[in-house]
Structure 1
Amino acid sequence: MNYEMIALLMFGSMMGLMLTGQRVFAAVGFVAAGTALLLYGTGGIEMPFNATFKLFSWNAILTLPLFIYMGYMLSESGIAEDLYEMLHVWFGRMAGGLAIGTILLMVIISAMNGLSVAGMAIGSAIALPEMLRRGYDKVLISGVVQGGSSLGILIPPSVVMVLYSVIAREPVSHLWLAGVGPGLLMATIFCIYIYIRVKVNPSLAPALTEAELAMPLREKLLLLRAGIIPVVIFVLMLGLFIRGVTSLVESAAVGAVAATVAAALKGRLSRRLIHETARKTLAISSMFLWLILAALAFSAVFDGIGAVRAIESIFITNWELTPWQAVILMQVSFIIMGMFLDDTAMLVIVAPLYVPLVDRLDLGIDGQMVWFGVLYTMTCQIAYITPPFGYNLFLMRGLAPKEITLIDIYKSIWPFVIMMVTTLVLVMVFPQIAMWLPQYVYR
């Protein structure tokens, strides 16, 4: 049996096991270990076993639980609710002001957490009920929360980018900085869309009453304090890291400690808060670690049989694709897989296939592995909200008020999918949207 057939069997077996409902890490790890045993005998088990020990030498992986802890501490302590109240008051007079404020809230939450789930939970619990109560169109605001929450995996500190950096061996600091431009561009496009659509059809977002907006200027200024804590934590954490004062892990620890201190200063630090934050942090961190272990084991066996070069031969030699056509095909495959899988499962599956291939392509882009990491993250965002099985669609259905149906959720998302694809195309055509900041900082 040739190596191309072995690679196809490995990939097919992995997908087949996942379709049975098996956990992703179990399916991937089982295929890796089983293939090693069949090909190399009992000694083959050393390949996936040794690959997992790489995990213990990568300090960047320690940032995962610290960033996750920071995000949950800030959200569970109610600091995100304070932020929404501030945005509600300051953007209430603008057409679609609450919806635009929700997008900005999601950007801030992204800078605090790095996970799509946190933004979705906060948006569904805080923003949706408020906008429904004020007569906002339920289809519009469903799309706002779903689209806005997806920014969590693009704007730093992105947990998905940490995972990509571990597998692709790229500096996470470069990836984070590369995500800033596309993330802010996407958020800006969302806000412009909301503003124009509400201007054309004001019934989608009724204006707030004068009584609601009659708060004295002094009280409005006091509300701005709600935005100080997240900004201070974000600047402190990333500023110390970029200036070289702290390492990546130390910066993550600074963020975690600062979030805890912020909750204490607000008078909200309690045994229940610490217990709930620790429980959620442990659950999410453990899931990510098992997935990375499985990915490393699979990658070791997959690369060991020469399958990466076989994939390169199929793309470049057999199909005669240009480097850019190969990259476009990869993005399309990401979006298709994302209809059925979450972002971490996608990374586990495609990293052994695509990351080494992209490294060999001549695209003429400085730092193309970092640029490709941004493209991957953006396609994850699109996949999150793409029917029929986009992860955020069902999460939204579970968290949204009962008057928002699954049909409403499906209808709401298409404008945001189009805007995300537009942003993705812009970053592909103009790579400097992503690359100018890391190149400026690390020139």
Structure 2
Amino acid sequence: MSHEMIALFMFSTMMLMLLTGQRVFGAIGFVATISALLLWGTGGSDIPFSAVMKLMKWYPLLTLPMFIFMGYILSESKIADDLYKMFHVWMGPVSGGLAIGTIGLMVLISAMNGLSVAGMAIGATIALPELIKRSYDKRMITGVIQAGSSLGILVPPSVVLVLYAMIARQPVGQLWLAGVIPGLLMATMFIVYIYIRCRITPSLGPALSREERANVTTREKLRLLSAGVLPLIIFFAMMFPFVKGWTSLTESSAIGAMTAFLAAVLRRRMTWKVFEVSVRSTLAISCMFMLIIMAAMGFGAVFDGLGAVHAIETLFTERLGLSPWTILILMQLSFLLMGTFLDDTAMLVIVAPLYIPLVDHLGFNLIWYGVLYTITTQIAYMTPPFGYNLFLMRAMAPPEIGMRDIYGSIVPFVAVMILALAVNMMFPEIALWLPTFIYSG
């Protein structure tokens, strides 16, 4: 059997197991282990064992629980509530201002958390009821929350980019810096769309009335503005020494977690319940990520042993005559397809053994490709029929918001995200300028 057929058989078996409801790490690890045993006999058992040992020796892995713990502390201690009150007061007088403020809230939450699920939960529990009460259009606000929450996997400290760094063996710091400008660019594009749309049709996002604005004093505005300083302090306390080279990535993640913990204590939000929920959630998610990465590394080792990447590259470039850019676009389209029924981590570890070496062989920058992968994942989160964010939104939204509203809400925002993806593909400097500037200085 040819290398191409073996690779196709491995992928089809894994996808079949996933479609039957098997856990991601179980499906990937099972296919990797069985393939290794069938191809190389009992000696193949060393491949998954080596993957485990390699993972245990990867020191930056300690950053994952630190960032996840930091996010849960800030989320469970309700510091995000203060942020939304700030945006509510300062942006309310503008048509669509609360929707614009929600995007701003999501950017700050992303800078504290690194997971889109946290942004979705905060947006649905804090922003959504307030926006409904202010007579905002249902489709507008559900689209805003879904699009804004997706920024969590692009704006640093993105957990998804940490996972990509582990699998692609790229510097996490450079990937984080590469995600800054594309993430802010996409948030700005969302804001511009909301502003223009609400200026054309003010009923979609009515501004606060004069009476409501008069009830808020300048002193209260300034007090609420200070709430927005806290996540910036945490972010810079973590990132500045890392970028300057004073601390390692792992040390910076510990600084971020400790700063978030102290912030919750100083604001008298640190209860035993908050601490327990944060620790339990951190442990559950960290273990899940470790199992998936371990399985992916075993799967990738089998591919390396087969030489399947080189065989598939030859198939695309020589036999089919496809250009590198055509192959890259087909890869992104496959991510969009997989995103209808898989989450970002599953998509990455399933195709990483094939796509990442292929991208490298085609001559593309792997830091830049990490940003493209993440943006494509954001789009996949919101595309029917089974986009991840669509069902999260339905689970959290009130009964008056139906699936038709949720599906209809994402169309303009997906269009904006596709435009952002195209811009980042055409101009790689958008992603690469900041890491090049920082690390070459």
Distance of 1:369 and 1:184 partners within structure 2: 21
> Which runs of structure 1 show a deviation greater than 6 angstroms over 4 or more consecutive aligned residues?
none
In structure 1, what is the Cα distance between the partners aligned to 2:151 and 2:81? Answer: 18
Match of 1:173 in 2: 173
Bigger mean CA offset, 42-51 vs 104-113:
42-51
- Indicate the residue corresponding to 1:40 in structure 2: 40
Whole-angstrom distance in 1 between the partners of 2:283 and 2:211:
45
Does the 8 Å contact 2:155/2:180 carry over to 1?
Answer: yes
Q: CA–CA distance in 1 between the matches of 2:213 and 2:69? A: 35
Any idea what the Cα deviations from partners look like across 1:265-284, whole Å, max 9, x if unmatched?
10111111100111111111
The alpha carbon displacement at 1:13 in A equals 0.5
Matched, 1:381 2:382: no
Distance 2:290 2:341 in 1: 21
TM-score (norm 1): 0.98
Match for residue 249 of structure 1? 250
Structure 1 residue 25 corresponds to structure 2 residue 22: no
Deviation at 1:315, TM superposition (A): 1.5
The aligned counterpart of 1:404 is: 401
Q: Partner residue of 1:336?
A: 337
**1:68 counterpart residue number:** 68
Name the amino acid aligned to 2:345. Answer: T
Q: Once the 2 structures are TM-superposed, how far is the Cα of residue 52 of structure 1 from its aligned partner?
A: 2.1
Range moving further from structure 2, 86-95 or 212-221: 212-221
| CA–CA separation in structure 2 for the residues paired with 1:7 and 1:155 | 34
Larger displacement relative to structure 2 (217-226 or 369-378): 217-226
Structure 2 alignment gaps of length 5 or more: none
1:278 aligns with 2:275: no
2:297 counterpart residue number: 296
Cα distance in 2 for partners of 1:193, 1:275 equals 40
Cross-structure match for 2:151: 151
Matches within 5 A, 1:365-380: 368-380=365-377
C-alpha deviations, 1:261-310, integer Å up to 9, x for none? Answer: 00001011111110011111111111111110110010111221111111
Report if aligned partners of 2:309, 2:358 keep a CA contact under 8 Å in 1: yes
Q: Does 1:435 find its partner at 2:424? A: no
Structure 1 unaligned segments of length 5 or more: list them. none
**Contact 2:91/2:98, CA 8 A, preserved across alignment:** yes
Contact 2:94-2:208 at 8 Å conserved across structures: no
In 1, Cα distance between the equivalents of 2:234 and 2:164? Answer: 24
Give secondary structure in 1 for the equivalent of 2:410.
helix
Query: 2:93 touches 2:209 (CA, 8 Å); kept in 1?
Result: no
Kindly provide the amino acid, as one letter, of the partner of residue 340 in structure 2: M
1:48/1:301 contact within 8 Å kept = no
Deviation digits for residues 388-425 of structure 1 (CA, Å, limit 9, x no counterpart):
11101101111112211111100000111110000000
Whole-angstrom distance in 1 between the partners of 2:375 and 2:439: 23
Q: Deviation digits for residues 143-184 of structure 1, max 9, x if unmatched?
A: 000000000000000000000000000000000000011100
Cα offset, 1:3, TM superposition: 1.6
RMSD: 0.8
Q: Give CA-to-partner distance per residue, 1:119-152, whole Å, 9 cap, x none.
A: 0000000000000001000100000000000000
Which amino acid is the alignment partner of residue 380 of structure 1?
T
CA separation in 1, counterparts of 2:311 and 2:116? 35
Matches within 5 A, 1:17-166: 17-166=17-166
Residue deviations 1:180-229 (CA, integer Å, cap 9, x gap): 11100000000000001011111111221222212111111111111111
Once the 2 structures are TM-superposed, how far is the Cα of residue 56 of structure 1 from its aligned partner?
Answer: 1.3
Task: Give the conservation status (yes or no) of the 8 Å contact 1:397–1:409.
Answer: yes
Secondary structure of 1:221's aligned partner = helix
C-alpha contact 1:136 1:206 (8 A) present in aligned 2: yes
1:237 is aligned to 2:263: no
Structure 2 residue matching 1:442: 3-state secondary structure: helix
- 2:396 corresponds to 1:395: no
1:433 is aligned with what amino acid? I
Cα distance in 2 for residues equivalent to 1:253 and 1:238? 11
Aligned-partner Cα distance in 2 for 1:207–1:94: 5
- Asked if the contact 1:384–1:391 (Cα under 8 Å) also holds between the matched residues in 2, the reply is yes
Q: Which amino acid aligns with 1:257?
A: M
Q: Deviation of residue 66 (structure 1)?
A: 0.5
- Alpha-carbon separation, structure 1, partners of 2:211 and 2:316: 63
Q: Quote the residue 2:348 is aligned against.
A: 347
The answer to whether the 8 Å contact 1:338/1:390 transfers is yes
| Equivalent position amino acid for 1:194 in 2 | I
User: What's 1:10 paired with?
Assistant: 10
Amino acid at match of 2:36: A
Moved more, 38-47 or 19-28: 38-47
Give distance in 1, aligned partners of 2:141 and 2:181: 25
Q: Which amino acid aligns with 1:98?
A: L
TM-score, normalising length: structure 2: 0.98
